[in-house]
Amino acid sequence: MELKQLRSCVGESQFPIYLRNSVFVTATSVVLIAGLASLAAYALARYDLPWSNALYVYFLAGLMVPMRLGVLPLFLLMKTCAFMIRMLL
């Protein structure tokens, strides 16, 4: 693939708009998640709540489970949803 072909693909498509939208959504998500996570972490670390130990164990268990185990249920869910969408059309 030559550079001229790449320029024509980027120039003719709406790639810059898609890239800008993706960067905006990603940055917004990161800021909101980091803010909420820091507030929750402060509350769990600072205050002695009766259920905080159980919540720590729950978070640790979630960290110990590999991410690959969550892919199969998501795939099955998306497959089912796509099937249902095709049935509605």
Per-residue tokens: 75? 């795939």
- Cβ proximity of 66 and 54 under 8 Å: no
**Predicted pLDDT of residue 87:** 62
Query: Does this model's pTM top 0.75?
Result: no
Annotated domain spans of the chain: 3-88
Per-residue pLDDT tens over the stretch 11-29: 788 888 888 999 999 999 9
